Amino acid sequence: MKTTNIMIVGVGGQGSLLASKLLGRLLTAEGYDVKVSEVHGMSQRGGSVVTYVRFGEKVYSPIVTEGEADFIVSFEKLEAARWASCLAPDGRIIVNTQEIAPMPVITGAATYPSGILDELTAKGVKIDALDALSLARQAGSPKAVNIVLMARLAKYLDIPFENWLEAIGKTVAPKFVELNRAAFTLGYNA
């Protein structure tokens, strides 16, 4: 079987490490060979962050390079554009429409590009955009953006809904399980 390549991209502090932890745990439980690669340290301070998740029968490289990603799950709109070159020809970008201005935009040295998603769509890129922040707030916390987006990804993966809920129970702290399951359900049905 072909290895599936997923990238989770976003801004340091948005919770991508928890998302990859959930995904890694679930895929391992499903019996796949799994590799997940994260970056810690400096880039977590509000910088652009990327996590790679690869699964299949046998996975070697822990990272995904240009033209290889079957899915890019972008926690922020601009980051989708930054990493678009990693998308495989028939890949799909799942993107949270939230905008977080990077420092060069804040200081006025650069502008936040408009119409990024339309531009990519015009180039034939499959884009699934959603307002994950609103859904997360609806579930009870803006921090649940990561789970909402994992739910959207779940729609494209061949893993039963219940297994995701079970994996959430094993990944997040007990007091947040209910909130995250609610966020997952909202994201899945959105």
Partner 1 sequence: MKKLMIGNEAVSRGLYEGGIGLVSSYPGTPSTEITEFLATYDDLHSEWAPNEKVALEVAFGASLAGVRAACGMKHVGLNVAADPLFTLSYTGVNAGLVICVADDPAMHSSQNEQDSRHYAIAAKVPMLEPSDSAESYAFAKAAFELSEKFDTPVLLRMCTRVAHSQSIVETGERACPDPKPYVKNGAKYIMMPGNAKKRHPVVEARTEALAQFAEDCPFNRVEMGGRGIGIITSGTSYQYVKEVFGDSVSVLKIGMPNPLPRQLILNFAKQVKKLYVIEELDPVIETFCRNIGLDPVGKSLFSPIGEYSQQTIRAAFGFKQPEVVRADSEAPARPPMMCAGCPHRGMYYTLAKNKVTVLGDIGCYTLGAVPPLSAVDSTLCMGASVSGIHGFNLAAGKSAERKTVAVIGDSTFMHSGMTGLVNIAYNATNSTVIILDNSITGMTGHQQNPTTGYNIKGDPAAKVDLEALCHAIGIRRVRVVDPYNLAECDKVLKEELAAEEPSVIISRRPCVLLKSVKPQPPLTVDAEKCRSCRRCMSLGCPAIKMQDGKATIDSTLCVGCEVCEQLCAFGAIGKGGEQA
Which one of 30, 39, 56, 178 is in contact with partner 1 (CB under 8 A)? 39
Residue 70 engages partner 1 in binding (rule: CB under 8 A): no
> How many H helices and E strands in the chain?
8, 6
Q: Is 41 in the site for partner 1 (CB under 8 A)?
A: yes
Q: Residue 153 carries which DSSP code?
A: H
Q: Which two tokens stand for residue 124?
A: 């034939």
Structural tokens at position 174? 């007990």
Nearest distance from C-beta of residue 185 to partner 1, angstroms:
23
Contacts of 80 (CB under 8 A, 6+ apart): 9, 72, 74, 93, 95, 116, 117, 120, 127
Residues 108-147 that bind partner 1 (CB under 8 A): 108-113, 115-116, 119-120, 123-125, 142
104 lines the binding site for partner 1 (CB under 8 A): yes
| 25/128 with CB nearer partner 1 | 25
Convert 93-123 to b/e letters by CB count within 10 Å (16 or more is b). bbbbebebebeeeeeeeeeeeeebbeebeee
Cα–Cα distance, 173 to 143 (Å, whole number): 14
Question: Which CB sits closer to partner 1, 46 or 189?
Answer: 46
Residues 6 or more apart whose CB falls under 8 angstroms from that of 140 comprise 179, 182, 183
Indicate the residue type of 187.
Answer: G
- Shortest distance in whole angstroms from residue 135 CB to partner 1: 15
Q: Does residue number 175 form part of the binding site for partner 1 (CB under 8 A)? A: no
Is 101 one of the binding residues for partner 1 (CB under 8 A)? yes
Q: Is 178 exposed, middle or buried (0-12, 13-18, 19+ CB in 10 A)?
A: middle
Q: Which is nearer to partner 1, 80 or 186 (CB)?
A: 80
Query: Among 87, 130, 154, 183, which residue sits at the site for partner 1 (rule: CB under 8 A)?
Result: 87
Q: Is 97 in the site for partner 1 (CB under 8 A)?
A: no
> Residue numbers of the site for partner 1 (CB under 8 A)?
11-13, 24-25, 28, 33-48, 59-63, 65-68, 78-79, 81-82, 84-85, 87-89, 101-113, 115-116, 119-120, 123-125, 142
